[in-house]
């Protein structure tokens, strides 16, 4: 991991904070100070490509990530749900300057495979990048969802859901993760019902089917 001093605006005050950035981050774009971290992440998005697909998940082309979210084009994605041996689900709270859904709680990690990258390998890669660990993952189901955000961007994804078991230490990347916690699925269901605004849209859609799977497992 590299380190960079980012200038962050919080409560109207400008201060400097050391942030760890992922190894794949394009450091050659960066200046010593960055006034708008969200804008920086949007610039990074514009250099990443996603796989455009049809509703059968068949590739139809590639496009820069930012453009795909601006045009609301269907693209391949994945969501990883991690449990420990007690059956508790790992949640993380998204960093406050994410380009959408900042500060909301969601599953362990989610992202997009790159052109030519297998979805399972991409899911394992992203788990390592965001939470600092790897574990075996199993495909559970897939679904398509579309949601428009207030900032003019949209998510329109063919989302592959994976599950895995992990009992070790978590090493979150604080450019992606504000906080994390393990919670029993029943407790999450109650919180999601009472406070849906605290969770991401895709998590709320996928969670019931993941919980149904988890309820059938024999946990320690």
Q: Which residues participate in catalysis according to the annotation?
A: 110, 157
Nearest one of 107, 117, 124 to 176, comparing CA atoms: 107
Q: Count Cβ atoms within 10 A of the Cβ of residue 56 and give its class: 0-12 exposed, 13-18 middle, 19 or more buried.
A: exposed
Q: Report yes or no: 65 and 79 within 8 Å, Cβ to Cβ.
A: no
40 token code pair:
């920086």
SS3 label, residue 120? helix
70 token code pair:
């601006």
C-alpha distances (whole Å) from 42 to each of 35, 71, 97, 175, 204 are 13, 15, 10, 13, 25
Beta bridge partners of 157: 75, 145
Q: Distance (Å, rounded) from C-alpha 105 to C-alpha 91?
A: 7
Q: Report yes or no: 156 and 74 within 8 Å, Cβ to Cβ.
A: yes
Spacing of C-alpha 157 from chain mean position? 13
- Count of alpha carbons within 13 Å of 206, Cβ hemisphere only? 28
């Amino acid at each position: 991991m590299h380190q960079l001093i980012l200038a962050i605006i919080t409560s109207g005050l400008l201060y400097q904070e050391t942030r760890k950035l992922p190894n794949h981050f394009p450091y050659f774009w960066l200046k010593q100070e960055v006034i708008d971290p969200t804008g920086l992440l949007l610039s990074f998005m514009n250099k990443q490509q996603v796989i455009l697909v049809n509703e059968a998940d068949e590739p139809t082309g590639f496009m820069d990530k930012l453009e795909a979210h601006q045009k609301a084009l269907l693209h391949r994605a994945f969501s990883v749900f991690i449990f420990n041996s007690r059956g508790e689900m790992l949640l993380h709270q998204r960093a406050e300057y994410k380009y959408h859904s900042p500060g909301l709680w969601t599953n362990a990690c989610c992202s997009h495979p790159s052109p030519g990258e297998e979805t399972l390998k991409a899911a394992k890669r992203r788990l390592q990048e965001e939470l600092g660990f790897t574990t075996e993952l199993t495909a559970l189901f897939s679904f398509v969802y579309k949601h428009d955000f207030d900032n003019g961007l949209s998510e329109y994804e063919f989302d592959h859901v994976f599950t895995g078991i992990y009992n070790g230490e978590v090493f979150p990347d604080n450019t992606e993760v504000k906080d994390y916690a393990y919670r029993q699925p029943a407790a999450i269901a109650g919180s999601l019902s009472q406070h849906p605004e605290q969770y991401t849209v895709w998590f709320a859609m996928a969670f019931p089917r993941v919980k149904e799977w988890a309820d059938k497992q024999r946990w320690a």
